[in-house]
């Protein structure tokens, strides 16, 4: 990864104007939180390798050296804590659009997975720090399997994960893809933060959804619940028809029910 090459592709005003690139660290999200108080919004942490990469639900995130995009973006939105999860949808829209620029038909598996050919290509991890009752900073972690080869994925995830290289047998310019993600992310993010316009991001997440109008299952209060995913509401919550009752789901791991 090269800071100058990333910058050459950037069209942003804030995001990516300061980029830290590491050869190897524990976690880009952890590093972002370490420096967030002393950084302006838009600082980006990238590492060629993560020793302790984290995904959702406390899972580890495999980060083969020099093969993917393992980055975190520091954001400082003036929003309430309950609004923070929607930033995941904003990021999902940005990644989908960036991948479409590279010729991929990407889909969103709500709320934080980006899929290509029904396999996970990217995961998004949105975390926040709070001071009093205010959001101090949001760290947006984005992990994209770019040039990862099949044998570099563990047997545990190989059946459900993939990479841009595996899908095409082509090597991709990671610097260009980082810049494209940041370009779209800044546009969608400030549409939301400055214009209170979430519709653009949510429309992309709806139109590119992997689960809408399909039968799904998820865990709720310790039980497995089944229903039909029917829409995203104006706040990015998943609307599910459960036996004729419409319920909203804020977060959780969603699985499609096989026919």
pLDDT in tens, 58-89: 566 678 899 999 999 999 999 999 899 999 99
Single out the residue in 187, 207, 227 at which a domain terminates: 207
Q: Which of 24-38, 101-115, 222-236, 241-255 has the least mean pLDDT?
A: 241-255
User: 245 exposed, middle or buried (CB, 10 Å; 0-12, 13-18, 19+)?
Assistant: exposed
- My answer on whether 49 and 79 are in the same domain is yes
Contacting residues for 186 by C-beta, under 8 A, at least 6 apart = 12, 13, 14, 15, 42
Single out the residue in 207, 228, 243 at which a domain terminates: 207
**Residue 242's domain spans which residues?**
214-256
- My answer on whether 171 and 230 are in the same domain is no
- My answer on whether 225 and 191 are in the same domain is no
- My answer on whether 115 and 196 are in the same domain is yes
- My answer on whether 241 and 203 are in the same domain is no
CATH of the domain at 128: 3.30.930.10
C-alpha of 109 from chain center: 11
Number of domains in the chain: 2
Q: Give pLDDT, residue 199.
A: 94
Write out pLDDT tens, residues 14-34: 999 999 999 999 999 999 999
pTM of the model: 0.93
Q: Which of 53-62, 130-139, 148-157, 205-214 has the least mean pLDDT?
A: 53-62
Q: For the beta carbon of residue 5, count every other beta carbon within 10 angstroms.
A: 14
At residue 101, φ and ψ (nearest 5 deg) are: -65, -25
Torsion of CA 136, 233, 70, 9, to 10 degrees: -90
- My answer on whether 199 and 226 are in the same domain is no
- My answer on whether 182 and 150 are in the same domain is yes
Rounded CA-CA distance 188/230 in Å is 24
Write out pLDDT tens, residues 155-212: 888 889 999 999 999 999 999 999 999 999 999 999 999 999 999 999 999 999 999 9
- My answer on whether 92 and 191 are in the same domain is yes
The helix/strand count (H/E) of the chain reads as 7, 12
């Amino acid at each position: 990864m090269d800071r100058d090459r990333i910058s050459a592709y950037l069209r942003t005003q804030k995001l990516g104007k300061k980029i830290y690139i590491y050869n190897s660290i524990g976690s880009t999200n952890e590093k972002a939180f370490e420096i967030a108080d002393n950084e302006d919004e838009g600082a980006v942490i990238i590492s060629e390798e993560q020793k302790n990469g984290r995904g959702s639900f406390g899972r580890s995130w495999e980060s083969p050296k020099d093969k993917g995009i393992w980055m975190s973006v520091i954001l400082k939105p003036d929003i309430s804590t309950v609004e923070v999860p929607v930033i995941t949808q904003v990021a999902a829209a940005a990644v989908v659009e960036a991948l479409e620029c590279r010729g991929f038909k990407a889909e969103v598996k709500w709320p934080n997975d980006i899929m290509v050919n029904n396999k996970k290509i990217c995961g998004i991890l949105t975390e926040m720090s709070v001071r009093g009752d205010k959001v101090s900073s949001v760290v947006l972690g984005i992990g994209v399997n770019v040039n990862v080869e099949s044998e570099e994925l563990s047997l545990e995830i190989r059946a459900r994960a993939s990479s841009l290289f595996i899908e095409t047998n082509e090597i991709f310019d990671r610097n260009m893809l980082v810049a494209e993600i940041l370009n779209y992310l800044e546009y969608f993010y400030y549409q939301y933060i400055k214009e209170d316009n979430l519709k653009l991001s949510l429309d992309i997440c709806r139109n590119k959804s992997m689960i809408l109008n399909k039968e799904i299952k998820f865990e709720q209060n310790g039980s497995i619940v089944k229903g039909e995913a029917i829409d995203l509401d104006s706040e990015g919550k998943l609307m599910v028809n459960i036996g004729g009752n419409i319920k909203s789901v804020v977060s959780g791991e969603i699985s499609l029910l096989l026919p």
